[in-house]
Structure 1
Amino acid sequence: MCEAHPALTGILGEIYSSMSEVMARILGVYRMPQISFSAQHPMLSDKFQFPSFLRTYPADTLQPRAIAQLLLHFNWTWVGILSSNSDSRSLSSQKIRQEVIGNGGCVAFLEKIDDRYTRERLTRVADVIHQSSASVIVCNCYDMHLKPILEILQLRNVTTIVWVFSSALTINPHLFTRETWRLLNGSLVFTGYTGGIPHFTDFLYQLGPSSFPWDSLTKRFWEKAFGCQWEEENSTQIATGKELVPCTGEEDLKAVVPVLFQLNDLSISYHAYLAVYAYAYALHNMLFDRAKEDVFGIHSSIQTIEPWQVLHHLWDVHFKTEAGEDIYFDKNGDVPTVFDAMNIQIYPDDTTRLVKVGRYDSRESPGEEIILNIIDILWNQNYIKPPRSICSESCPVGYRRSARMGQPSCCFDCLPCSAGEIANETDITECWRCPEDQWPSESRNKCLPKVIEFLSYQDPLGAALAAAAIILSLVTVLILFVFCQFQDTPIVRANNRGLSYLLLCTLMLCFLCSLAFIGLPINLTCMVRQPAFGLIFTVSVSCILAKTVTVVIAFKAVNPRNQLRKWVGPKIPNLIVICSSLVQLAICTYWISSHPSFPEYNSRSESGKIIVECNDGLTILFYCMLGYMGFLAIISFIVAFLARTLPDSFNEAKFITFSMLVFVSVWLSFIPAYLSTQGKYMVAVEIFAILSSGAGLLFLIFLPKCYIILLWPEMNTKEHLVGKKYHTEIV
């Protein structure tokens, strides 16, 4: 249209969010469409405030998530954040922090920077960076704000940092010194997605003062590119004081290094290109729709286009670029969020390349938004492979995390799991307790079945005790056989022959009852073994007490005038045995009827084992049984001790004294030994006490008699038994 003032139907721009906001508030009143190709502030997506604002550059809404996904991809859980001192950068930096924490990471520090800050304030920020153990820093800042911090870090030789930049950074090597720029080698930068622009390179090579004579910037570019100067302008010469060749305008642009065109970062140019095409498609669709409705061409003139009509068609724009990318605006006027991940690569000859190494596409399924080609990444010269940036090393299996007081959750100590617990995964905060029938392995990474333990016949200890019990019982039978063979001899008839037989039988049963303690405990054996042992031993001790009383009465009643003569006979011994046994029988009967013992699987006493044992029910009854048995033994010991002055030819009271001394000693030592052991050894201690105390009674009382009966029969006479003095008195 060859008109001085053609109709305005749309605006491209502005680059900065702050300027775009001011424009959008005014243009929204008139529904004038505005497409920005660089503004990122999330506030501009609010269509209530900015109804006619659209943009082709991705909004900053999802960039924090993109950065957090990148950090998660490399398992960088301990990072620092630098933010420019502006509202938009501060807001997005807080969102980056939230995203990092949401992914299980931690932020070592979050500091604001600005080129207007004092040197002291910038030095403090540099101190925080220098002292931090984080190897990765997210820089959500502008290049002019980053420059002073890099200068301080360069002076302190801080070269091990890997930087991750947001799209707020403008990649401009000429802004930095050579040394500070090299600090950014290996950095990763998010930029708006850039595709190919057809014929753009050819257009650049056709630039020249003759093509754009009115553009002063073209002349400045020409001077910079070829080191020449236009004759009509000598400002550069005055400033530099150098002799420069004159510019002719015929210089060949193809000889210029491509970096001079900044072809590595065309994100803003590309999105301006998309904005122009969005307008073109909107106008095309609008005119095409009008043509279909107006077959006579009455209203098809472009002069009748209104801004609100263009805005209406912009919402419906949907086209593909030559690279196959879908371009459309959502309900907020934003295009799909797609970022390129770029890698700053600085080579030894100081040449710089910006290489695309991946992308973030919000349209992909969760967890697959970011795709990286790690092979193409050139890391900082201090790293051959991706660096590690963690506060604490992972806790291996068998260990759990223990938080450090006052530090983030990523900083922790690794402590081994407690007894009975395992950790079969790394980095867990709580160990898991094994089931009752299992226990942790040595490395505490899995549960193993516990060993079931009881005193069995296959166990060497159990087999030895069982053999000892059988041998002792056979020895008892042999002694009983000897006594039966020589039952009419004086030494057998002395002190109540029936008591000797009963004592030998009970001792044999004592030895055999110990077999009930060996083997897998079941209800029957648990219920009867302790009462049976207590009752049989009580009968044995009662027999010994009766024999001791019989000895005393026999030697005290030798005088015909002594009143004890009427007690001589079997009545007193039998009465002692019966009465003493009845008391123990009452205790055992009450024990079995009220609180019987039962088998129990004990998995708490010893790690790695399930001890099958008999629970004695009411333990006090067990000690009552032992106490009563001990009481009888002590009485027998005292009576036998007092009768030790009887005739020396064969003083059975002395042997009873020694036997009861052994008996009492065994059972007094049994109690602490029994209480200090557990499992099969507790049972073994009780069996040993039964066998040793029974063997003491058997050998100390009956072995001397068998010795005389079998080896010295001439001593088996009444005179030798009671002594000549007492024999004369009896006669």
Structure 2
Amino acid sequence: MALALLLVLLLPCHTAHKACSQNCAAPEDPLPILHEFYQPGDFVIGQIAAHIYFFHDPPTFKEQPKQMLTAERLSAPKHYQDLLTLTFAVKQINGNPSILPNITLGFHILNSYYLARMTYKATLNLLSTRHNFSPNFKCDSLKNLIAVIGGLVSVTSVNMANILTLYKTPQMVPNEAYQYRGAVHLFQHFRWTWIGLVAMDNDYGDRFLQAVIPLLSQSGICYSFILRTPKTTYMDALVGSFFKLQERYSVLVESKANVYFAYGEPPTLNIMRTFQIVAEAQSLQPLGKVWIVTSQWDFDSLYLERMSDIDVFHGAISFAVHSSQPPGFQQFLQTVKPSQQKEDGFIQDFWEQAFECSLKKFRKSEIERMCTGEEKLESLSGILFEMNMTGHSYNVYNSAHAVAHALQFIYTYRFKHRTLVDGGSQEIHNVKPWQLHHFLRSISFNNSAGDTVHFNENRELVGGFDMINWVTFPNGSFIRVKVGKLDPQAPQGQKLLVNDDLIVWHRSFNQTLPPSVCNEGCHPGYSKKKKEGEQFCCYDCVPCPEGMMSEQKAMDACVKCPQDHYSNQHQNHCIPKFITYLSYKEPLGVTLAMLAVTSFLVTTLVFGTFIKHKNTPIVKANNRSLTYILLISLLLCFLCSLLFIGQPGKVTCLLRQTTFAIVFSVALSSVLAKTITVVLAFMSTKPGSRMRKWVGKRLAHFIVLSFSCIQASICSFWLSTSPPFPDMDMHSLNEKVIVECNEGSAAMFYCALGYMGFLAFISFTVAFLARKLPDSFNEAKFITFSMLVFCSVWLSFVPTYLSTKGKSMVAVEIFSILVSSAGLLVCIFSPKCYIILLRPELNSKQQLIRKK
């Protein structure tokens, strides 16, 4: 039953009444602009639009039009409490001497029947003389329309506003978007990302969807389906819609969505309840879902629905206008009797249908039970009548008091200033609707329940929403349980407060939190991959790539571990990386260090042997000083390999490569000088040779010094421009952080290495060309072998060095230094040591100058 509650102000009769009855005139032209308190489209479920007019007749309930009696008998006025609340509020106002003294408020109530044409007719009736349907013409000067308390559903109030806004009639319209945002907060609170949407197939359902779908998308929530219910509640039209709904029933049942968000105008839920009857009759699977509905929703008491099981809505959650219980309201309800409500045109239908009896003197059949008139409202189940004031009724209550306080301010203002806002001298009963705006905007008062009623800066009635959990019982009764609160004025993050422990879910969920997702969610170690053609809430789960992880369920994407961490085997956690470098504490480091020390000691022994036998022919031959320089450089080569072992530091990084490069260049320069000396010595033995003047120590020392200085210059430039430094390589190895020496400039490193290769190549070439000289004087043969070993080692070093990481790369370089140095030592000095130590008889001048 769609009711438009019209609050009416009744004044004492005076002489103006006679003047009006004798003179009928058209009123002033209404201003064709929208009033300040209403914008088209800014309506919500459960809105309160207030309109008032002055009236002299006693308070009455307007009877239903005769042509609608048949349709009206199909339902009992579930919202009869709204009518009684208005009566209660008006009686409170009239009984309060501090509000509008000597002025009596009255009211009329009209029925819109959820039909636009009846709403328009009722609204135009307010603009006409009583009992004379002539809009804009009236002969009753004391019937001055001031404000209207609109209907339960949005369409009723909006249809009324289409006419009443031309007269700038004030309306109090809460912002409907608060409920939508509250529902989204609720979905996020319970992590529901896959829901169904239900709305009527009309303009208001379109607006609901247009407002909600973007909010859902912005919050990472998707909709599984959109069900549009028929526009009307009349049974003849519903029969045809059952077959269409039946086709969608399998979608409702089989959908992964366990949560349905419904635009809760009564026709929507009535149709769903009626459809449930058909589903039960056809033995279809019960629809066990969680319903989230907006504030207009309530259990209407259609006869057909009274026979149905409301268990389908057990555990539903709705947003209801915040309500309190004004003192004396329940006592007032207990006094309501048909005999005492003679002006109430609705009480007979309500009483007969609620108590299933008849108040008429003559019964239609012997089966029909007569009403005693003493039945108690508190004995009715909640589906028929509730004793606690609902949110809708509380809106009616506050609206009546708000208008009364605004009129009181006008009355007080006139009494003090004897003038209206527009400056004209008027009587109180000639107040125009637009004159209430200024006073409503600044109004603020405490009602009898202790709540403050006022408007915010957007001219919206300030008030939150209660979150109601509906608990149903097999006998058709239900209770409302307040489980949370939606407060638009609260700070961010506190707008929605929910007590999870108080919520009762539908029985099909066995009192566990219902899941409502398209996917159960990817486990840790996996991330979402969008399915083609599906909404973003539906996805596949793919493992995280190496080096990335997801430690929570249903993560949109894997995240990269910090640089000093790596992902574990299951890709669901980051583990700190181990710091690694070639250490003296590990077997590889110890082995290489021992090899370096052993090689150093062997070289020292060789050096000592040559010093001890320095005066022997084999030591003197081929420049003794070059032999000492070569042995000293080899000693340093073995020692410089130790710089590569241990944790790199600033000093060691500066010395590593440069020391190695310079020392090896000295050794190779010495080998080259020895080779050139051998060649020049044999060339000088030819008669008339001019090469004899080049044979000597000065040329050999010049060769060693000049070629070594070139390498020293390269290293000096390297250190001055881009010196090596300690660094941490966090990317080369997945589970380790490599502490290493960054070469600073790779070009300079390979330049120094290339120069050593150049020296080795020249030495090898010269020695190879001199290999056929007489054996007794030919040291070039051994130099050829040593350079062959040297070049082979360092040619293998480059690709191996580039293909390894971390400590292995350092070990490769150390090994190359040791092997190449040992090659020089063994190939050049082992034959001489053999003669000195084992064949001393060969260590003579005669043997050295002997020819084959």
Fold equivalence (TM over 0.5): yes
Distance 1:397-1:162 versus aligned 2 partners, 3 A rule: same
Counterpart of 2:449 in structure 1 is 323
Q: Does 1:163 align with 2:291?
A: yes
The range that moved more, 174-183 or 417-426, is 417-426
Within 5 Å, give how 1:73-152 maps onto structure 2.
Answer: 73-114=189-230, 118=241, 121-123=244-246, 125-141=248-264, 142-147=268-273, 150=276
Closer, same or farther: CA 640–673 of 1 in aligned 2, 3 Å? farther
Mapped pair 1:65 → 2:190: no
Query: Which residue does the alignment assign to 2:740?
Result: 611
What SS class does the counterpart of residue 507 from structure 2 fall into? coil
Structure 2: unaligned runs, 5 residues or longer: 1-11, 22-54, 58-104, 128-135, 137-143, 232-236, 419-425
2:695 aligned residue: 571
Match of 2:805 in 1: 678
Match of 1:182 in 2: 311
**Equivalent of 1:599, from 714, 724, 733?**
724
Give the aligned partner of residue 308 of structure 1.
432
Q: Which residues of 2 match residues 254-273 of structure 1 at below 5 A?
A: 256-259=379-382, 261-263=384-386, 266-273=390-397
Which moved further from structure 2: 8-17 or 377-386?
8-17
Deviation track 1:289-348 (CA, whole Å, cap 9, x = no partner) reads 777789xxxxxxx99723528963973765433321233567888643433322221235
Quick one: distance in 1 between partners of 2:383 and 2:644? Answer: 97
CA contact (8 A) 1:188 1:343 kept: yes
Structure-2 change in CA distance of 1:426 and 1:36 (3 Å): same
Partner of 2:659: 529
Does the C-alpha gap of structure 1 residues 206 and 261 become closer, same or farther in structure 2, counting only changes over 3 Å? farther
**Counterpart for residue 355 of structure 1:** 481
Q: Cα distance, 1:130 vs. partner?
A: 4.2
Q: Match of 1:7? A: 56
Q: CA deviation at 1:628?
A: 0.9
What secondary structure does 1:81 align onto?
Answer: strand
Q: Which amino acid aligns with 1:171?
A: F
Q: Structure 1's 533 and 108: CA in aligned 2 closer, same or farther, altered over 3 A?
A: farther
Measure the CA separation in 2 of the matches of 1:277 and 1:593: 93
User: Matched residues in 1 for 2:120 and 2:700: separation?
Assistant: 114
What pairs up with 1:265-304 in 2 under 5 angstroms?
A: 266-278=390-402
SS at match of 2:724: strand
Give, in angstroms, the shift of residue 380 of structure 1. Answer: 0.7
- Say whether the 8 Å CA contact 1:193–1:338 is kept in structure 2: yes
1:538 to 652, 664, 668: 668
Give the Cα–Cα distance (whole angstroms) in 2 for the partners of residues 593 and 254 of structure 1: 103
1:620 positional shift: 4.9
Q: How far apart, CA to CA, are the structure 2 residues paired with 1:204 and 1:194?
A: 17
Of 507, 510, 513, the residue aligned with 1:386 is 513
- Assess, with a 3 A threshold, how the Cα gap between structure 1 residues 564 and 45 changes in structure 2: closer, same or farther: farther
DSSP-derived class of the 2:799 partner:
helix
C-alpha RMSD of matched pairs (Å): 4.8
Q: What secondary structure does 1:249 align onto?
A: coil
> Which residue number corresponds to residue 169 of structure 2?
52
Aligned: 1:634 with 2:750 = no
Q: Deviations over 1:124-176 (max 9, x none)?
A: 54454445432211110433343465467766525342111112333136554
The whole-number CA distance in structure 2 between the counterparts of 1:382 and 1:564 is 119
- Aligned to 2:386, the other structure's residue is in SS state coil
Q: What is the alpha-carbon distance in structure 2 between the residues aligned to residue 578 and residue 25 of structure 1?
A: 121
From 469, 472, 479, the counterpart of 2:599: 472
The one-letter amino acid paired with 2:761 is F
The amino acid across from 1:183 in the alignment is V
Post-superposition CA distance 1:646-692 (Å, at most 9, x none)? 47xx9866654543443333223222222222344333322322221
Aligned counterparts of 2:146 and 2:106: Cα–Cα separation in 1: 6
- Does structure 1 conserve the Cα–Cα contact (< 8 Å) formed by 2:630 and 2:666? no
Percent sequence identity over matched residues? 28
Asked whether the 8 Å contact 2:444–2:454 carries over to 1, the reply is yes
Q: Distance in 2 between matches of 1:331 and 1:664?
A: 88
Distance in structure 1 (CA, Å) of the matches to 2:834 and 2:431 = 134
Give the secondary-structure state (helix, strand or coil) at the position aligned to 2:483. Answer: strand
3-state SS, counterpart of residue 152 of structure 2: coil
Displacement, 1:13? 5.5
Alpha-carbon distance between aligned partners in 2 of 1:377 and 1:282, rounded to the nearest angstrom: 40
Most deviating of 307-316 and 708-717: 307-316
CA distance in 2, matches of 1:125, 1:473: 90
Please give the alpha-carbon distance, in whole angstroms, between the structure 1 residues aligned to 2:808 and 2:599: 21
**Partner AA of 1:161 in structure 2:** K
Q: 1:192 aligns with which of 321, 342, 345?
A: 321
| 1:184 Cα deviation from its structure 2 partner | 1.3
TM-score scaled by length of structure 2: 0.68
Aligned to 1:729: none
Q: By how many angstroms is 1:572 displaced?
A: 7.3
Q: Write out per-residue CA displacement over residues 212-255 of structure 1, whole angstroms, 9 at most, x where no aligned residue.
A: 578786555555556556785444x4xxxxx5265262665479
Provide Cα deviations, 1:9-54, integer angstroms capped at 9, x if missing partner. 8865667685667766886877532222535468578996462143
Report deviation, 1:389. 2.7
Distance 1:598 1:328, change over 3 A: closer
2:133 corresponds in structure 1 to none
- CA contact 1:58–1:335 (8 Å) conserved in 2: yes
Contact 1:502/1:543 (CA < 8 Å) preserved in 2?
A: no
- 1:10-49 matches, cutoff 5 A: 18=116, 32-36=146-150, 38-40=152-154, 49=166
Q: Is the 8 A contact 1:12 1:36 kept in 2?
A: no
Whether the 8 Å CA contact 1:39–1:59 is kept in 2: the answer is no
Q: Give the superposition deviation at 1:60.
A: 3.5
| Change in CA separation of 1:537 and 1:122 when aligned onto 2, cut-off 3 Å | farther
Q: State the SS of the aligned residue for 1:191.
A: strand
* Aligned residue type for 2:297: L
* Cross-structure match for 2:94: none
Q: Deviations over 1:515-546 (max 9, x none)?
A: 45455354752573254034223224315524
Q: Distance in 1 between matches of 2:688 and 2:550?
A: 79
Change (3 A) 1:331 1:632: closer
- Report deviation, 1:448: 5.6
The 8 Å contact of residues 24 and 34 in structure 1, kept in 2 or not, is answered as no
Contact 2:152 2:296 in 1 (8 A): no
Q: Structure 1 residues 167, 642: closer, same or farther in 2, change over 3 A? A: same
Q: Helix, strand or coil: the match of 1:343? A: strand
Q: Distance in 1 between matches of 2:678 and 2:226?
A: 95
Alpha carbons 1:397, 1:444 under 8 Å: kept: yes
Question: Residue 549 of structure 1: CA displacement?
Answer: 3.8
